[in-house]
Chain A
Amino acid sequence: QKEVEQNSGPLSVPEGAIASLNCTYSDRGSQSFFWYRQYSGKSPELIMSIYSNGDKEDGRFTAQLNKASQYVSLLIRDSQPSDSATYLCAVTPSGAGSYQLTFGKGTKLSVIP
Chain B
Amino acid sequence: DVKVTQSSRYLVKRTGEKVFLECVQDMDHENMFWYRQDPGLGLRLIYFSYDVKMKEKGDIPEGYSVSREKKERFSLILESASTNQTSMYLCASSPRGGKNEKLFFGSGTQLSVL
Contacts and interface: CB of A to CB of B under 8 A. Distances in A.
Given A105-B42, A106-B42, A43 B90 contact: yes
Contacts of B33: 100
25 contacts: A8-B40, A32-B99, A36-B103, A42-B107, A43-B90, A43-B106, A43-B107, A43-B108, A44-B43, A44-B105, A46-B103, A49-B99, A49-B102, A88-B42, A90-B101, A98-B100, A98-B101, A99-B56, A100-B45, A100-B48, A100-B58, A101-B45, A103-B42, A105-B42, A106-B42
Contact of A99 (B31, B42, B102, B108): B31
A104 B42 contact: yes
B96 to A, nearest CB: 9
Contacts of A45: 105
Does more than half of chain B's interface fall in helix, strand or loop, or is it mixed? Answer: loop
Contact of A43 (B40, B100, B105): B105
A100 B56 CA distance: 10
Contacts, number: 51
Contacts of B31: 99
Interface of B: 31, 33, 40-45, 48, 50, 56, 58, 90, 99-103, 105-108
B40 A99 contact: no
A101 B45 CA distance: 8
Nearest to A1: B59
B98 to A, nearest CB: 10
A43 B103 CA distance: 11
Contacts of A99: 31, 48, 50, 56, 100
